[in-house]
Amino acid sequence: MGIVGGAVVGLLFPGQGSQYVGMGRELAALRPAARAVFEEADEILRVRLSQLCFEGPDTELTLTHNAQPAILTHSVAVFSTIAAALGDVGAAAGHSLGEFSAWVAAGALSFAEAVRLVRHRGELMLKSGEDRPGTMAAILGLDDETIDRVCREAGGPDGECVAANYNSPGQVVISGDTAAVERAIEGARAAGARRALPLNVSGAFHSPLMRVAEADLAAQLGAVTFSTPRFPVVSNVTAGPIADAGQARDLLRRQLTSPVRWAEGIRAMRAVGCSTFIEMGPGNVLTGLLRRIDCEASGRAIDTAADVDTFLAG
206 secondary structure, DSSP code: T
Q: Among the options 65, 80, 206, 207, which is catalytic?
A: 206
Q: How many other CB atoms sit within 10 Å of the CB of residue 197?
A: 12
Strand, coil or helix: what is 301? strand
Active site residue 95: no
Q: Among the options 75, 96, 168, 258, which is catalytic?
A: 96
Please state, in angstroms and as integers, the Cα–Cα distance from residue 122 to each residue in 21, 110, 125, 235, 309, following that order. Answer: 18, 18, 5, 19, 32
**Strand-strand pairing, 233-234 and 195-199:** unpaired
Active site residue 96: yes
Q: What are phi and psi of 141, to 5 degrees?
A: 95, 10
Pick the closest to residue 269 from 12, 3, 4 (CA basis). 12
Distance, C-alpha 297 to centroid of its chain: 20
Q: Which residues contact 311 (CB under 8 A, 6 or more apart)?
A: 82, 85, 278, 300, 302
Q: What are phi and psi of 116, to 5 degrees?
A: -65, -45
Look at the chain and count its residues: 314
Please give the positions annotated as active site: 96, 206
